[in-house]
Chains A and B, each alone.
Chain A
Amino acid sequence: MQAHHILLALSFLFISFIGGCASLPITMADKSIIYSYPLSSISTPPVFASHESNQIIALVDDALYFLPLKNRQRSSVDDRSPALLAWSPAGERLAALFYDHNGAPSVELFTSDGVRISATEVTGKVTALLWRSEHELLLFSNSYNSYRFGTSVQQNLIRLKDGVIVQKQILHETTITPTYLKRIGIDRLRGIITPSISPGRDEIIYTKLFNPPLFTPYLMLICRNIESSAEYVIAKVELKGRDAIFSEDGESVIWSDEEGKLWQRSLWGGDEARPAATAIETKLDTNILINGVIYGNGRLRASLPSDAVVRTDDGRHYLAAWHGNLYLLQDVLQSGMAKTPLTEEEQDKLNTIRSWRASGLITNVEYAESKKRILKR
């Protein structure tokens, strides 16, 4: 064997070693075992979405790909790179947000076979895509107008049914002072806290930005009932706050402050905000993911590197993007408590009384009693 062959073999071993070292580090908090498998390379910043039902991961790696979990052979869907992706609740449709070369956004819908079924032009900078049903998609977008005294930011909620815009609502308007804008940069405004949707897909959590003259800018964490447009102020949160999610029963919201401490508050006139660690130990019986930390069955199960982007569709199925690779986290899949799904009629009835409660048409006590009767059947 010649010397350069030996050198080549050593180089190969060295690269393999380095590659092995780069596997996703997970800090375990208890005896649970979470295996992580590298699935594919992925662009930076990572854009991906997975779905438990169709077992297909949509990901961007300088183009849009579908990666079925059964064979892990990715196939190209579109040459362009979308900025956001979201699977519909049953996994039959994928929503992808594209920006053209002029920066104009459009939302395109694909089937799970990768066939494009609609393309809709929208306005503003889209910050999130959330599905309400197989047919209805919610878009959060911000519009900006610059003036001498500051930049006006309008936060909009756009509702699309089967790819057609049916409603556009202004969620909030504020003016950002030039000083603050210079400090934060306009891109940071696109989603300081990512909006999320309730388990019944009838309410959303989002944040309103306030920048009053002579005061420090802050965010208000808001819950909004989509049908009634009623809103409930959950808490004033710091700009460095991160995730906010609904609890599994959709009756409270959990969020983290800038120090990573978790808080929880019941919705629509319930209790005051309280530290959430206790609440998680006593009330939540499923997995939740917040700020890269997975809590399962009332305990902190694992935490991931702070620069990893972690997503879950249903509290059981996790994907993590880290340093240009996409990982599947296994065993977490089985650890969530099995849920007894509501029938469509029960869910509709529940969402109806939730919208009545949000509009102040029934009291919290009347709501709780009615909900108990719906769930008993």
Chain B
Amino acid sequence: MNSNTYPKMVISVLQFLLLLLLFCSQSFAIDSPPDSCIPCHSKQTPASLHRWEESAHAKAKVGCAACHGTDHTAIEKGDKRVAAKTCGACHPKAYQTHTASRHGMGLHSGWGCTRNLANRDSRECAFCHDKDSSKILSTVHCARFLKQTSEMGEIGCNRCHQVESSCSSCHTAHGTDLKIVRNPNVCATCHMGPDHPQWEMWQTSRHGILYESSGMQNGPTCQSCHMPGGSHDVSKGITMSSGMAPYPAIQAKKAREEMISVCSSCHAAGTARRELDRNDAVHRQSLKLVKEGEAIVWELYDEKLLEPMPDQRPAHPLSGNALVLDNQMLYEDTSHVERLLFKMKKYDLAKTVKGAYHQNPAYTHWYGNAELKMDLIDIRSEANRLRHKKNPAAPPVALQSHEETMKIRLEQIKRKTGRTEITPEQGAAERKRLLEQFLK
């Protein structure tokens, strides 16, 4: 080494160290404990501060400003809630897995625009739009959300469906203790109640009893099966949509293998496969019952017997005066028979099918299957009542004008063709016959 280059090298090393020191001091300036926040917040929000002080964030010197920013006015207005993408900056893997899973599917953002509904809180815009942007974050719409008041929408819908954009839905705010998210009770906040009581099913199943009596080592929790190894992919191993439509075969096969792999950590793979096959059969049988109920409601609609018909009641928020029996079905402003079908589809189908997959016999049978079958009796009975009430003697369609009758029959043909109850050729022949009558 040349003696002239030695001092140059020392200078370079010193420059590097100086830069490193500068960088570190900058980092600490951002993430250092929030001395300026603590004096006030130890009085204003002591619990939040205390939870932060005990958290991994405090230990890593991640301060208030790192997540909340420094615009105190905006924080006070509630505009600076910590979004999942803020957490994603430091936890990219968890964030990416979460957003790709069913929890990140966009149920929260894109409930549907509420700006033209009466008496809505303008702050709701923030549900679906970034600040000062008209860009919609998701195109998922929910008719049931659009029927709610601002307050009910916030508490009854968003508090669960904000899971897409808020890690605190499960992790809670300010704390980072993994005990919280490993406790199955954290899932119960949303996964309980009449529409999908997975938590109750699990709790009263053998899995739940073992957990209660022997702890996590012997009793699997929600997280054990649906978030194995701490994964944030809660969709792993699930073979149906959130509306309980079975996935296409290729997708379902892959998911099934994933679930069998999870089950195999405790059970023989063959046992797991046989059990899941049985669950699939219950799923198919239950869907068939619901289809039967749906067909009866469509028939009543075709015969203009619903009380009230869709054009005689407040318009459906997404489909106007159309009859909606799919996942956007409402439980309010509908006819009685639709309300019965709603219970059948939304509550009792879920209890039967999810009860089976969660190994809970009481839910599968008595809360689920028995209710489904009794629902069908109620729907048939209501259909008979409506038909009898409208016209005890003659077929109801005869009450309409010639043109109306033709239209009703053409609509029936269209629906039957769409539901593949008749072939396109049969539909064409039936239309030809009706047009002949109309043009006579």
Contact = CB atoms under 8 A, between A and B. Distances in A.
A370 interface: yes
Which size class do B's interface residues fall under?
A: 20 to 34
Interface in B383-412: 403, 407, 410-411
Given A147-B125, A148-B132, A149-B129, 16 more contacts: A147-B115, A149-B132, A149-B133, A152-B115, A175-B134, A177-B134, A213-B134, A213-B135, A349-B438, A352-B438, A361-B407, A361-B410, A361-B411, A362-B410, A362-B435, A363-B431
Interface in A210-269: 213, 229
Contacts of A361: 407, 410-411, 413-414, 431
26 contacts: A145-B116, A149-B125, A149-B132, A149-B133, A152-B116, A154-B116, A173-B116, A175-B134, A177-B134, A213-B135, A229-B320, A349-B439, A352-B403, A352-B438, A353-B435, A353-B438, A356-B407, A360-B414, A361-B411, A361-B414, A361-B431, A362-B435, A363-B428, A366-B432, A373-B439, A374-B439
B431 A362 contact: yes
A213 B133 contact: yes
Contacts of B115: 145, 147, 152
Most buried by A among B134, B407, B438: B134
B439 A370 contact: yes
A150 interface: yes
Nearest to A373: B439
A349 B133 CA distance: 49
Contacts of A173: 113, 116
Interface in B145-190: none
Contacts of A175: 134
Nearest to B410: A361
Interface string B215-253: 000000000000000000000000000000000000000
Contacts of A353: 435, 438
Most buried by B among A145, A149, A370, A374: A149
B36 to A, nearest CB: 30
Q: Which 7 A-B pairs have the closest CB atoms?
A: A361-B410, A149-B134, A213-B135, A175-B134, A150-B134, A149-B132, A373-B439
Interface string A356-377: 1000111100100010011000
B132 A366 contact: no
Nearest to A175: B134
A356 B414 CA distance: 11
A150 B414 CA distance: 41
Contacts of A370: 435, 438-439
Interface string B423-440: 000001001100100110
Interface of B: 113, 115-116, 125, 129, 132-135, 320, 403, 407, 410-411, 413-414, 428, 431-432, 435, 438-439
Nearest to A227: B407
Interface in A149-176: 149-150, 152, 154, 173, 175
Given A149-B132, A213-B133, A366 B116 contact: no
A154 B435 CA distance: 38
Contacts of B428: 363
Contacts of A373: 439
Contacts of B407: 356, 361
B415 to A, nearest CB: 10
Contacts of A374: 439
Contacts of A366: 431-432, 435
A206 to B, nearest CB: 18
Contacts of A147: 115, 125
A376 to B, nearest CB: 10
Interface string A255-292: 00000000000000000000000000000000000000
Contacts of B132: 148-149
A288 B129 CA distance: 46
Contacts of A152: 115-116
B135 to A, nearest CB: 5
A353 B410 CA distance: 11
A150 B135 CA distance: 11
A152 B114 CA distance: 12
Nearest to B402: A352
A311 to B, nearest CB: 34
A187 B113 CA distance: 25
A301 B211 CA distance: 89
A370 B125 CA distance: 50
A346 to B, nearest CB: 11
Contacts of B413: 361
Nearest to B122: A147
A17 to B, nearest CB: 57
